[in-house]
Amino acid sequence: MGDMVKDKVVVVTGAGAGIGRDFAKGFAEHGAKVVVNDLARDKETGKPLAEIVVDEIRAAGGQAVAAVESVAEWDSAHKIVQAALDYFGRIDGVVNNAGIVRDRFVFNMSKEEWEAVIGVHLNGSFYMTRAAAPHFKAQGSGAYVHMTSTSGLIGNFGQANYSAAKMGLLGLSKSIAIDMAKFNVRSNCIAPWAWTAMTATIPADTPEQKARVEVLKKMEARKVAPLAVYLISDRANHVSGQIFGARANELYLFSQPRMIRSMHRGDGWTPEMIADEAMPAFEASFFENVPSMKLISWDPV
C-alpha cells in the first residue's frame, strides 16, 4: 500500500474489467477512495462487475463504492459524480476510461455503430468532465485523465468511430487544461497498450498470428495504472495538457500538432501556384498513412 493519492476521491469509469479494473485497484492501493463505475454485469451471476471490483478492493483493505450507471447520458454521468460526493464527501479526480468498440471499415459503418462509440468515449468523457468541473472549480483543485489511443493518434484499419472519438478527447483535454488552469485543475491523456477483452478480438489463426498474440499478452493492464495514479496525484501538479503512453514497461510522451513548414507570397496564392510551388515544398514533410502497428513494430519490453 502506498500513499501517493492518500484520501483523494477518484472516479474511474469502465472499471469493471480490463484497464479500468486495474486503475481502480491501483488507486485504492495508493490510498485513494475509489468510485468504481461500470454498467456491465457478470454473465453468469448477473452481479454488476463494479460491485465485484469493490469487493476485491475492500478485501484488500481499500475504500471503494460502485456506481452502476452509463457515462453516455448527461443525467447518469452526473449520478456517478454524485456517488463520490454522497459516499466520500468530495471528488478529486476523474479517469475517463469507459469504452466500447464497434469496428467496421468506414464505407460499411452504420449510423448506430458510429453513434454508440462516440456516445461512450467522447460524449461520456465530456459528461463526466462537466459533472465534476463545478466541484473542481469551487475547491481550486482536481485532475482529469482521459484514455486516448494510437488508433486516433496514428491511425488504424476499421476504426473510424473509435479513432475520431479518441482524437476528440485530445481536444477536450486541451480545452480543460486551458479553461481550468486558473482553478488549479489539470487534464492529461494516456494512450494505453494492454491485452484486455476489448483487444482480444485480434485474429490468431496462423502460427505467426498466435506467436504475435503471445507477445502482446505481455502488455498487462496493471502496468498502465501507475501512470494514471501519478497524473492524479499532487506530484503531477505541474503536468497538464500532455499526451502520454504506457506499454508494458515503456512510457511515452507524444508530440502534439504544430506548424512545421510555411510558405508566403506577398500577392497571395492561386490554386495553380499552390500546385506548382507550395505543395512540392510541403510534400517532403508529409506523413505517411500507416496503421499504428506498422509505426510501433517492436515488441513490448
List the catalytic residues.
162
Strands (E) in the chain, as ranges, are 9-12, 33-37, 63-67, 93-96, 142-147, 185-193, 243-247, 250-253
- Residues 155, 157, 163: CA angle, nearest 5 degrees: 45
Helix (H, G, I), strand (E, B) or coil at 129: helix
Q: Which residues make beta-bridge pairs with 66?
A: 36
CA distances from 137 to 67, 87, 140, 193 (A): 23, 20, 5, 32
| DSSP 8-class letter at 142 | E
Question: Can you tell me which residue has the cell 485504492?
Answer: 28
Residue type, 40: A
